[in-house]
């Protein structure tokens, strides 16, 4: 039998961990906490490039020329930062909330309207004593050129096809075909969008 050696945590680590548990911050990587502290005082709709640089410094993969207009709320534990990839030339309006229990991939030239929520974690249905069973993380993909309008919610395992538009307030429960306009709860295809590039 392999011997397990336990080491006592230093006193200051125990204090910080206890404080983190009390404030609900124990799962937040310290670099992400620092990033939030640096960007939160900035007026919304300003310093979008500065916010990108700060979140990049925290470990989030963000392409050039992407603008983040407010605080980017990331959830998903210690892996939240490494599970998020945002492409170039994107525009993200606050407040946006991204659950990164599983990978979230955002393509190039994507626009998030205010109040967009992306969820990657769901649960298996358990017995009557506790219905929310084990966590089931499922990745979300937002392809190039997508526009997510005001208050859109994307649920686990969904892919939004290239050039699609998701109408305000829609809840997306299944994959969205490329170059379509979808809306409603659950979101359904409203019409096909033209694919010709305007110059």
User: Mind giving me the DSSP string for 74-134?
Assistant: EESGGGTTTTEEE-SS-EEPSSEEEE-SS-EEE-SS-EE-TT-EE--EEEEE--TT--EEE
Buried b vs exposed e over 157-168: b needs ≥16 C-beta within 10 Å? bbbbbbbbbbbe
User: How many Cα atoms within 13 Å fall on the side-chain side of residue 53?
Assistant: 5
Superfamily of domain 29-192: Hexapeptide repeat proteins (2.160.10.10)
Structure confidence at residue 10 as a pLDDT band (50, 70, 90):
low
Percent of the chain residues topping a pLDDT of 70:
84
Q: Tell me what the mean pLDDT of segment 28-45 comes to.
A: 76
Q: Tell me what the mean pLDDT of segment 23-43 comes to.
A: 69
Question: Hey, what's the torsion of the CAs at 185, 155, 150, 84, to 10 degrees?
Answer: -170
- pLDDT at residue 4 is higher than 50: no
Ramachandran quadrant class, 184 (left: phi over 0; alpha: psi -120 to 50; beta: rest)? left
Q: Are 149 and 137 in contact (CB under 8 A)?
A: no
| pLDDT value of residue 11 | 54
Measured CA to CA, the distance from residue 164 to residue 68 in angstroms comes to 21
Measured CA to CA, the distance from residue 127 to residue 79 in angstroms comes to 29
Q: How far is CA 140 from CA 22, 42, 48, 77, in A?
A: 31, 29, 24, 17
| pLDDT value of residue 2 | 41
Domain boundaries, the chain: 29-192
Measured CA to CA, the distance from residue 137 to residue 149 in angstroms comes to 24
Identify the residue with better confidence: 34 or 145: 145
Catalytic annotation, residues:
123
Q: Are 163 and 177 in contact (CB under 8 A)?
A: no
Least confident of 11-15, 29-33, 138-142: 11-15
Q: Are 124 and 101 in contact (CB under 8 A)?
A: no
pLDDT tens for each residue of 80-105: 888 999 999 999 998 899 999 999 99
| pLDDT value of residue 91 | 96
Burial of 132: CB neighbours in 10 Å, binned 0-12, 13-18, 19+? exposed
């Amino acid at each position: 039998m392999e011997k397990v050696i336990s080491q006592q945590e230093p006193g200051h680590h125990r204090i910080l961990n206890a404080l983190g548990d009390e404030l609900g911050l124990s799962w937040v990587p310290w670099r992400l906490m620092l990033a939030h502290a640096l960007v939160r005082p900035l007026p919304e709709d300003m310093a979008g490039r500065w916010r990108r640089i700060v979140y990049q410094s925290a470990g989030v993969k963000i392409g050039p020329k992407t603008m983040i207009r407010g605080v980017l709320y990331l959830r998903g534990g210690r892996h939240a930062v490494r599970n998020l990839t945002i492409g170039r030339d994107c525009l993200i309006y606050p407040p946006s909330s991204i659950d990164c229990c599983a990978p979230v991939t955002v393509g190039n030239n994507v626009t998030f309207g205010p109040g967009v929520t992306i969820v990657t974690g769901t649960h298996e249905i358990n017995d009557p004593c506790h219905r929310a069973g084990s966590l089931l993380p499922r990745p979300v993909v937002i392809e190039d050129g997508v526009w997510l309008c005001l208050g859109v919610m994307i649920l686990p395992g969904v892919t939004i096809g290239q050039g699609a538009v998701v109408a305000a307030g829609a809840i997306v429960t299944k994959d969205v075909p490329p170059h379509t306009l979808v809306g409603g709860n659950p979101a359904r295809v409203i019409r096909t969008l033209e694919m010709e590039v305007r110059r």
